[in-house]
Amino acid sequence: MAAAAAPGALGALQASRTRLAAACCAPLGPRWRLPGSFTGPQVGWAIWVRGSMPAVWGATLWRGYSSELKTEDELRVRYLEEENRGIVVLGINRAYAKNSFSKNLVKMLSKAVDALKSDKKVRTVIVRSEVPGIFCAGADLKERVKMNSSEVGPFVSKIRAVINEIANLPVPTIAAIDGLALGGGLELALACDIRVAASSAKMGLVETKLAIIPGGGGTQRLPRAIGMSLAKELIFSARVLDGQEAKAVGLISHVLEQNQEGDAAYRKALDLAREFLPQVDLVTGLAIEEACYAQTIPTKDRLEGLLAFKEKRSPRYKGE
């Protein structure tokens, strides 16, 4: 591969670009190609975090948060009551590590999602941050740098798996983005059905700054959310969008001015979740789906679709 022959960081970045193009384009067939060329400086992920922090939090954001935080407190699962009964809030709470994905956090998320899958009382899930100014800064790079090469792949697979588990929950999911959502943090938000954000929030898949590509589903979900061409542009450039820009490109559904408490997106997510509660519950919805599917079984179009698949041709439907 030509990119592999290039020296130093540029070679790594070009190789990353080639892998990224393959990841983005593979599901859409060989006609897609990488337009133009892309090179750029290597910038550490931490620079994005520091440079994108709202000024109001300043350098003292993390005061009052101990690095000795108990691991069981890194994810707070709250089952709301009274008029909010049926709403579950998953609150990420790793302030000292900017809510980044650690082995423990991934394990806790997986455990929580497993419990939600089988809980028929759950109607809507909100994913939020308990830490001001941060949603999730992606992978815990301090933990990552200590891993052997043989450990990295399996761990990234675990992150991808838990994000997929959230995407496959049988109830509506809402990401409340009140701060930075970078790399895996944005991939977590992309797995949710609905995304709302504060105007001051920052969002981006910035992995190409580290000579890697998104590994938590970003190459697949971002194009599905905003279109292939724009997704390529954002990933290749590692561009970070604010809330207004994210709304303009269709990455989020709602953008709010941040409030003094720093939870404007969460409050909007809660309003949406309350709006969902009176609607069709899962059991009823599945029964409706079953009844509707049954109506397609005796149709000629269903048989035509199967025959066309077998004969490897386009189906000729007649509405019968």
Provide φ and ψ at 77, rounded to 5°: -105, 115
* Token representation of residue 234: 């954002």
151: annotated active-site residue: no
- Quick: pLDDT tens for 120-129: 899 999 999 9
184: annotated active-site residue: yes
CB count in 10 Å sphere of residue 210: 20
- The whole-model pTM stands at 0.71
At which residue do the structure tokens 């933990």 appear?
Answer: 143
| Fold that domain 75-275 belongs to in CATH | 2-enoyl-CoA Hydratase; Chain A, domain 1 (3.90.226)
Q: Residue 8 pLDDT > 80, yes or no?
A: no
Active-site hit among 187, 216, 218, 246:
187
Domain ranges across the chain: 75-275, 282-311
Active-site hit among 139, 176, 191, 273:
139
- Quick: pLDDT tens for 46-101: 333 434 444 333 333 333 333 444 566 899 999 999 999 999 999 999 999 999 99
Is the CB of residue 137 less than 8 Å from the CB of residue 180? yes
81: annotated active-site residue: no
Is the CB of residue 179 less than 8 Å from the CB of residue 48? no
String of DSSP letters for 85-134: TTEEEEEE--GGGTT-B-HHHHHHHHHHHHHHHT-TT--EEEEEESSTTE
**Sign (positive/negative) of CA torsion 212, 216, 222, 224?**
positive
Is the CB of residue 195 less than 8 Å from the CB of residue 151? no
Identify the weakest region by mean pLDDT among 147-151, 183-187, 191-195, 229-233: 147-151
Close Cβ partners of 193 (under 8 Å, ≥ 6 residues apart): 172, 173, 174
Active-site hit among 95, 97, 189, 207:
207
Q: Residue 137 pLDDT > 80, yes or no?
A: yes
